[in-house]
Amino acid sequence: MSGIAGVFNLTGEPVDPALLGRMTASIAHRGPDGIQYAIDGFIGIAHCKLATTPESLAETQPLWDESHTCCLALDGRVDNREELARDLKSAGAVLRDGSDAELVLKAFLAWRADSPRRIVGDFAYVVWDSGSRRLFCARDHVGIRPFYYFTDGSVFLWASELRPILQHPSVSCAPNEGMIAEYLADRICTRDETLYRDIRKLPGACCATVDPRGTSVRAYWTLNPEESIRYKRDADYAAHFSAVFEQAVRCRLRTRTAHIGAELSGGLDSSSVVMTADRLLSAGGRPKLRTFSLVFPGLPCDETPYIQAVVDRTGVHSTLVPPSHASASDVVRQVEDYADLPDYPTVSMADGLRRAANAQGTRVLLTGYGGDQWLTGDLFYAADLIRSGRWFECLCRLKDESRRGRIDSIPMAAFNYGIRPLAPQILRRAVRRFRGGSAGPRFPWLRDEFIRESNLLDRIRYRPPACRRFAMREFVETLGSGFLEHGFDMMDRSVARFALESRHPFFDVRLIEFLAAVPSDQRRRGVIKFVLRNAMRNVLPEVVRTRNGKADFGRQFIAALECLGGSGLFADGRLSTSHRLNLAETRRMCAEMAAAAGAYNNRALPHTWQLWLAAAVDLWLQKLPAPSGRDTLTGCLAPMET
């Protein structure tokens, strides 16, 4: 992952080059191929280069246009290069080198604020327009590449990570109690805030215009709720899916090195990516794919048989790696390095895998991330069927769910997922209260006064999007989830430490639009990922294609919590979050999790996420400076260790 950072002095004061240098020094690990600057009076733009495509080898950023009027810094990759280049030429643009940066800059010159909508790929970029004295910022459709910023009316700062922004003396480390509450509740809903009160995020599918008059943020893309794709046969859906999925994989195979890597878990999603990528590479006469897999010998979560089935079918070069276990000092160092929460244990357990990929000269890792988000589906398709008068089809679908053990009672499922969702919200709320149910979510491990003071319930209040189909609502809610972008931010910074770039074919916006438009039973019909399973027939090994369930890695959380102090971590007075937590309830949850771990059989352990987030937030708070100290985290000026 490359990195971008910069300063826009809205008052017209010249940029301090030393400040820009400190900002890039704090993310120097993102620029192993060089760090470059462009300073134009009161604006300074920096780019930390990680070259991962053939075109990026000769690319120079920050990149000025021919008239030296507009300057771009891009962290990202363009996946619709041919289409974008063709449209630009039709608009009269002249391309000098065909690099991704050139394409994005010329797209801005041609279409201005409409430019990010026309780009398919993972990106976060800024363009300085010296003619209008405006800065334009944009983040990709899903929010895969991070974009943090700070503004107080006199300066606008931006960066790919939090650390550079904290170098400016105007930036306070004051905590954001609202976001702390969302993290402690394990309900990360807000997309444009961070744990710091004054530092914000640009949400995915949004762009911003910055000038001395202020900062204006707007969305440039949303799913079309009226889009619909209908075929008569399941085979036609599978064929259409295969074409879009192959396109999503193919455009992510550009790499500057001879070999391209892939994470192979043995699950349906990553295996589908590996099988498709291997076929495309072989057809192009390119070297075999290199796969990297985590293995857990002797544990129920070990997926070695599924991994081996894919390796045997393809003949790819396979590297098996045991999970990494972070020590207490590792976790503390992550907090200091990131100026943020430490990695989730399920993220840091792959550090050894990424280290192995880097050691083999790999710079790109394909993943299967996204299959669960877009292909799992939910039972609310019953409401769509009932709304359209297809009662018999609804009962047939639910009967199939029951036969496969996914629901216990067909009548109850028909009521809960088919009839009740169609009732007005005010009626559902009244029935719930009449039956003695809670009017909203409960968080017994949080103190009531903290819930009130942080305005938690209003921050996470469910506001259903205006969608006629429940299937479309599912997609809109996922795209609008703060947790989705939080996960990308965490994955991005973790992978960047190893000079790697993760690429996610399942998050290709064209694939998302296709899956949102097909009937919901193509995603879930008795089994989840129905259309993917059909598309991979005679492609995947049957043992993988027909598998149900996923490995659970709850033990990673247990081990991480133990290294930080285990049950003693939640003793009275140990946590700086103690005035936010109900410690008696937290200790009870800890004991319940430990008891379940003793009978672990690959089922999800209770409370792991809530307890880990409580410990993680506490560590972050401990590293905040004292009120009399400098408003930046300990270690923020030191280079990040890798």
Predicted pLDDT of residue 388: 87
Predicted pLDDT of residue 638: 34
Average pLDDT over residues 570-589: 84
**Residue 637 predicted with pLDDT over 50:** no
Give tens-digit pLDDT for 512-545. 999 999 999 899 998 999 999 999 999 999 999 9
Task: Copy the structure tokens of residue 265.
Answer: 């878990």
**Residue 436 predicted with pLDDT over 90:** no
**Cα 26 to Cα 160, 162, 487, 641, distances in angstroms:** 11, 9, 21, 10
List the CATH number of the domain containing 177.
3.60.20.10
Q: Alpha helix (H) ranges present in 438-541? A: 448-453, 456-459, 470-479, 482-496, 509-517, 530-535
642 located within any domain: no
Report the distance separating Cα 59 and Cα 61, nearest Å. 7
Beta strands at 317-321 and 3-9: parallel, antiparallel or unpaired: unpaired
Q: Cβ(153)–Cβ(163) under 8 Å? A: no
531 located within any domain: yes
Coil, strand or helix: which one is 642? coil
Task: Copy the structure tokens of residue 562.
Answer: 């133990």
Q: Are residues 158 and 195 in the same domain?
A: yes
H or E stretch including 264?
none
Lowest mean pLDDT among 42-46, 102-106, 142-146, 591-595: 591-595
Give tens-digit pLDDT for 365-380. 999 999 999 999 989 8
Task: Copy the structure tokens of residue 37.
Answer: 């600057």
Predicted pLDDT of residue 424: 83
Report the distance separating Cα 476 and Cα 472, nearest Å. 6
**Cα 599 to Cα 189, 395, 557, 591, 602, distances in angstroms:** 33, 37, 16, 13, 9
Q: Are residues 255 and 358 in the same domain?
A: yes
Average pLDDT over residues 129-150: 98
Predicted pLDDT of residue 59: 92
Q: Are residues 526 and 570 in the same domain?
A: no
Q: Cβ(203)–Cβ(480) under 8 Å? A: no
Give me the phi and psi of 122, to 5 degrees please.
Answer: -105, 125
Q: Are residues 178 and 132 in the same domain?
A: yes
52 located within any domain: yes
DSSP β-bridge partners for residue 562: none
Task: Copy the structure tokens of residue 124.
Answer: 């976060």
Of 219, 243, 271, the last residue of a domain is 219
**Cα atoms in the Cβ-side hemisphere of radius 13 Å centred on 37:** 18
609 located within any domain: yes
Determine the straight-line distance between the first and last CA of the chain, rounded to whole angstroms. 14
Q: Are residues 104 and 141 in the same domain?
A: yes
Amino acid at site 637? L
List the CATH number of the domain containing 258.
3.40.50.620
Cis peptide before 62 (omega within 30 of 0): yes
Give tens-digit pLDDT for 603-635. 788 999 999 999 999 999 998 864 433 334 433
Give tens-digit pLDDT for 291-304. 999 999 999 999 99
Q: Cβ(201)–Cβ(490) under 8 Å? A: no
Coil, strand or helix: which one is 49? coil
H or E stretch including 217?
strand 214-219
- Confidence class for position 437, pLDDT limits 50, 70, 90: low
Report the distance separating Cα 65 and Cα 202, nearest Å. 25
Please tell me the pTM assigned to this model: 0.94
CA 57 to chain centre: 27
DSSP structural state of residue 333: H
Domain interval for residue 207 = 3-219
In terms of C-beta distances under 8 Å and separation of at least 24 residues, what long-range contacts does 370-373 make, across chains too?
370/269, 370/504, 370/505, 370/506, 370/507, 371/267, 371/268, 371/269, 371/272, 371/506, 371/529, 371/532, 372/269, 373/478, 373/484, 373/506
**Residue 98 predicted with pLDDT over 90:** no
Of 189, 219, 249, the last residue of a domain is 219
Predicted pLDDT of residue 578: 83
Q: Are residues 205 and 186 in the same domain?
A: yes
Q: Cβ(171)–Cβ(631) under 8 Å? A: yes
> Which residue, among 300, 350, 295, 341, has the nearest Cα to 564 in the 3D structure?
341
446 located within any domain: no
- Confidence class for position 448, pLDDT limits 50, 70, 90: very high
**Residue 594 predicted with pLDDT over 70:** yes
* Average pLDDT for the chain: 92
Q: Are residues 245 and 324 in the same domain?
A: yes
Give me the phi and psi of 248, to 5 degrees please.
Answer: -65, -35
Lowest mean pLDDT among 186-195, 449-458, 504-513, 564-573: 564-573
Q: Are residues 215 and 352 in the same domain?
A: no
Give tens-digit pLDDT for 496-509. 999 999 999 999 99
Question: What residue has token string 């019909």?
Answer: 525
Q: SS3 letters for 152-182?
A: CCCEEEEECCHHHHCCCCCCCCCECHHHHHH
Q: Are residues 63 and 160 in the same domain?
A: yes
337 located within any domain: yes
**Residue 439 predicted with pLDDT over 80:** no
Q: Are residues 211 and 251 in the same domain?
A: no
593 located within any domain: yes
Task: Copy the structure tokens of residue 516.
Answer: 């949102």
Q: Where are the beta strands (DSSP E) in 79-191?
A: 121-129, 134-139, 148-151, 155-159
DSSP β-bridge partners for residue 364: 501
Of 159, 188, 219, the last residue of a domain is 219
Report the distance separating Cα 3 and Cα 147, nearest Å. 10
- Higher-confidence residue of 103 and 440: namely 103
355 located within any domain: yes
> In the chain, how many domains are there?
3
Predicted pLDDT of residue 641: 38
Give tens-digit pLDDT for 323-364. 999 899 999 999 999 999 999 999 999 999 999 999 999 999
Give tens-digit pLDDT for 48-96. 999 999 999 989 999 999 999 999 999 999 999 999 999 999 999 999 9
As to burial, measured by CB atoms within 10 angstroms (0-12 exposed, 13-18 middle, 19+ buried), residue 270 is: buried
Q: Cβ(564)–Cβ(611) under 8 Å? A: no
**Residue 413 predicted with pLDDT over 80:** yes
Q: Are residues 193 and 249 in the same domain?
A: no
The Cα angle at residue 527 between residues 525 and 529, in degrees rounded to 5 = 85
- Confidence class for position 440, pLDDT limits 50, 70, 90: low
Predicted pLDDT of residue 598: 84
Report the distance separating Cα 538 and Cα 313, nearest Å. 11
Q: Cβ(128)–Cβ(45) under 8 Å? A: yes
Q: Are residues 110 and 212 in the same domain?
A: yes
**Residue 129 predicted with pLDDT over 80:** yes
Report the distance separating Cα 98 and Cα 176, nearest Å. 43
Report the distance separating Cα 520 and Cα 517, nearest Å. 9
